[in-house]
Amino acid sequence: MTAPLKFCANLKWLFTEVPFEARFTAAAEAGFAAVEYASPYPYPPAVLHGLLRDAGLTQILINTPTASPGSPGDAGTAGLPGAERVFRSDIHRALDYAGALDCRLVHVMSGTRPAGLSRDRVFGTLLDNLSWAAEQAAQGGVRLVIEAINHGDRPGYLLETQEEAAAVVEAVDTDHLGVLFDVYHCAVTQGDVVTRLQTLDPWIFHVQVADIPQRGEPGTGEMKWEPIFEQLRRSRHDRWIGCEYQPTVSTALGLDWLAKFGAR
């Protein structure tokens, strides 16, 4: 028996027709039971908790904080030697928010590789930081995920392939760290999404979807989605799938892909 698919709305990308605070109600009215978004930090946790409660939604995922654009750490500090104190502060902040929002997943942004530093040094820092962070997360019943991001969208990002992310998770070797498998980033960088979903399934905690090349809704680009969703149905655990795409029409009008591909 295959497991049903569970989709959460990414409120950074979807329902941008209305202000952020109104997107919770919009997501619930569109049939979503859960949401994710990268940065809760502009809002007090109590405000976000109230928005979730009033809309009847579950918070699935948040990211760790990042620095201002163009500065070191603007893609995260997990793999940034010399920024360990900042990284630990960011983890504590993310876990505080996760606890307040009853959010069980935190995406740890790995960062970009600084010029002049060897790959071994950067990855050594990444492994040490993630090992420490996973211990902190375990105390609150939170799990961490790391993501591979294509270099067209995020030049120099430390993790570019799904296999690199899985290798880091395997090296840290804890039940509290897994892979965030972004179908869009995988398709841009590597292709063969279905095989990678199948091969890396033991390490995958969360999935995000968007089509290529424009990062629109599934079905608006070049990808064949039926086998992707079929593979996700065959997966052994009840992970959520984040809708992290740029709607090509209004968000609500573009949601017909869920019925088209039998995703609901």
Amino acid present at 62? I
The closest alpha carbon to 8, from 142, 24, 186, belongs to: 24
Residue 177 pairs in a beta bridge with: 144
Q: What span, in angstroms and rounded, lies between the C-alpha atoms of 6 and 210?
A: 15
Say whether 147 is catalytic: yes
Give the total residue count for the chain: 264
- Contact between 202 and 177 (Cβ < 8 Å): no
36, 160, 217, 244: the catalytic one is 244
Q: Each residue of 48-74: b (16+ CB within 10 Å) or e? A: bbebbeebebbbbbbbbbbbeeeeebe
36, 147, 160, 217: the catalytic one is 147
Q: Each residue of 14-47: b (16+ CB within 10 Å) or e? A: bbeeeeeeebbbbbbeeebbbbbbbebbeeeeee
The closest alpha carbon to 6, from 63, 60, 52, belongs to: 60
Say whether 160 is catalytic: no
The closest alpha carbon to 63, from 201, 228, 204, 242, belongs to: 242
How far is C-alpha 29 from the geometric centre of its chain's CA atoms?
23
Residues 6+ apart with CB under 8 A from 215: 184, 245, 246
Dihedral angle, C-alpha 200, 202, 204, 209, nearest 10 °: 60
Give the residue numbers annotated as catalytic, written as ranges: 147, 244
